[in-house]
Chain A
């Protein structure tokens, strides 16, 4: 039985950064400017697997792997109230199915890993926006809760980028330059 290292080797051409994977094409804005941490550009990988956009499944932006934890990361350059629940759900659903297909091809046992979906959204800077974002967060969060209940993923985090940056430092002792 192979492990996740094989996946990383096999798809090493998709190695990327949080900066590249957090680009909002429409507005040409990076949600995170970090280039030090290696991730897999999953959108690009799916794009290449499915050149025909009409049949291309939805996908999350990046994969970050830490030991037995696989973080599926979706960046949204939007406030929580503007995030389309259906869209972030579909990205998780399709994206994880595609990822598991790749695991199967490489003979990687999915049950050896825990999948965590992270939706990282735009900062709510203004004090008046902060409480709104805090309340609105529930909308996205609980729209995704069903994926935890059905064990599709182990956990879901919908937070702003600075939360993830702070947590990265706290949990992995590494500073992300977002």
Chain B
């Protein structure tokens, strides 16, 4: 399937295939996260409307309003414009015409992983959850975190259609421990178990938390063929060796039928995703894109050409080191 975006945030146009693994690389502030946010808002707002009791035909403006509301909750930047256009399969919103189509797929949903810090926000989000059920007052929160918190803390209403036993085992091997729901006071909390000791998630390494997110999403049944996992910079807080392990886990998810969109600016992560996708025979479902100059592009419709450009850009910092070496040489020679 293809996600089409026009005039959203700093992106003028993006046509991104989501067939298995989609990797968008680029520097900071080039709009690569906007792709995932737009996709997430489109799917999530639609679910809100579908789950409401409103008449199907009467909900188009509700859908648009919900998307606008979600964008405000997701990002404080003014991403939406008067002529924003977002489309995936038969789901489409066109703000220039104020029109919306919700499409026919029932449980089509997005999961957005932005930061492993989510486990440190658990108490706050849990508090908001409780407060919302008691008081009639809207507390400001980031919806991306909120949605992920719900998915980490509560089981999905339907079971996953995939057996992920292998991936859980892999994550346990990487982290040398396992994760389980803390079942005393708050049943929504997770703990890390290592050598019979239990550690609160606030107190474990960020890298462990990053793997814990995948583990908890699997255990709670959210990773399915009908949900798109959007993973923003999965490399954060990971040593290059663990970046490779994370890439392996991501490719394994794809192999099992989960559609994953990854944003990255790590050469280790990008190369590992490419190599593991080849090893696991999912490279034909893998697409690489470069976020640059207001466009998300696949150069010459080729992964190879795009990857070459991505690595050229990722190597640019070494030019600065070379300039520094050059300066020191100049000092030596000219005194």
Contact = CB atoms under 8 A, between A and B. Distances in A.
Given A127-B308, A134-B321, A155 B271 contact: no
A134 B318 contact: yes
B332 A69 contact: yes
Given A127-B311, A127-B312, A157 B329 contact: yes
B307 interface: yes
Interface string B297-335: 000000000011111101101100110011011101100
B318 A130 contact: yes
A123 to B, nearest CB: 13
A170 interface: yes
A131 B326 contact: no
A171 B321 contact: no
Interface in A159-178: 159, 163, 166-167, 170-172
A69 B333 contact: yes
Given A69-B333, A171-B333, A131 B311 contact: yes
Contact of A131 (B318, B322, B328): B318
B267 A131 contact: yes
**Chain B's interface: helix, strand, loop or mixed, by majority?**
helix
Contact of A170 (B307, B317, B326): B326
Contacts, number: 52
Contacts of B328: 155
A134 B315 contact: yes
A13 interface: no
A66 B314 contact: no
Nearest to A157: B325
A156 B267 CA distance: 27
Interface string B273-292: 00000000000000000000
Given A66-B333, A114-B332, A131 B325 contact: no
A154 interface: yes
A170 B328 CA distance: 13
A116 interface: yes
Contacts of A157: 325, 329
Nearest to A127: B311
A111 B326 CA distance: 24
6 contacts: A131-B311, A155-B332, A157-B329, A159-B325, A167-B329, A170-B330
Given A66-B333, A131-B311, A134-B318, 6 more contacts: A128-B307, A128-B308, A157-B325, A157-B329, A163-B322, A166-B326
CB-based closest 4 A-B pairs:
A127-B311, A134-B318, A130-B315, A127-B312
